[in-house]
Amino acid sequence: MSLTEEPATATAVPTRPSAPHGTGAPARTPTGDPLVAGALLLTAALLVSYQLLAGHVIPPLAIFGLLTTTLGLATLRRRPRWLLLLDAGVAVLYLGGSVPFVMANLRHPESPVSFLAEVFLLIALGTVVVGVVLRWRSAPDRARRRTAGGAVALGVVATVVSLVAAASVDTEARQDGDVPIVSERSRFPELVELPAGEGVLWVDNQDPFHHTLLIDGTGIREVLAASSAVRVPVDLAPGTYRFWCDVPGHESMEGVLDVR
């Protein structure tokens, strides 16, 4: 090289970012939302289970069960904002429409099936709403993990409370002369015959849900814990009396006392 020549300058060659070690392609970002999708699918499972235990299809629950299953599966794959808003809207709609049923069941932890069904539904649907808000705000993953952990903790506490309350329920045995009224598959007998004057009704709730027994025109109202029986003293004049359950959604449970 002559003294007049300038030294060659090295040219930097741009390089592509290397893929993670052990893979041949960049890592893919999940496209769904497991927290919201999981809460929706849990809601669907709870609604189906409740109907199986009741022994019959409950149309509003069946519709919401199908809807939450569809939304859960869709949200597991993708999370566009319109879908997340739809998820939250369905959760709020169900919660708003079920307030009477929720309140009636939450007052009776001694009946674990109906009590825990409502608690778990509240937790699941609440998780849907919180999960959508967190996704909308681009919250870090630790916030979503805390939400899931808090939901599980609430479920455990509610389960313990309900089991303790159920263990404290006393079932009264039927005695000679008692007239039975049996609740089975959320139905009362259509007709019960009862002698006039003083007597005792033995009310046996064989359902996994709590019920009530009201007798029109008498002021009698008994709460029937799940899978338990109570003896109800009565003193009725001859005639016919309607008896029924006033738990929201159980209005079809009714019969007639024929007192002679």
Higher pLDDT, 101 or 214: 214
Q: In what order do the strands lie in the sheet with 197-205?
A: 179-183, 197-205, 228-236
- Helix orientation angle between 81-97 and 112-136, rounded to the nearest 10 degrees: 150
First to last CA, the chain: 129
Put the strands of the sheet holding 211-215 in their side by side order: 191-194, 254-259, 239-244, 211-215, 220-224
pLDDT value of residue 251: 81
6 domain-assigned: no
Range of the domain at 94: 34-167
Assign residue 254 the CATH number of its domain.
2.60.40.420
pLDDT confidence of residue 11: 47
Instruction: Count up the domains in the chain and report the number.
Output: 2
- Rounded distance between C-alpha atoms, residue 105 and residue 107, angstroms: 5
Query: How many angstroms separate the CA atoms of 204 and 232, rounded?
Result: 11
In tens, the pLDDT along 1-12 reads 443 444 444 444
Mean pLDDT of the chain: 88
- β-partners of residue 232 are 201
Q: Has residue 22 got a pLDDT over 60? A: no
pLDDT category at 56 given cuts 50, 70, 90 is confident
- pTM as predicted: 0.80
Instruction: Classify residue 23: in a domain, yes or no.
Output: no
Looking at the structure, tell me whether residues 155 and 41 fall in a common domain: yes
Does 78 share its domain with 129? yes
**Alpha carbon distance 63, 99 (integer Å):** 17
Same domain, 125 and 161: yes
Q: Same structural domain for residues 198 and 86?
A: no
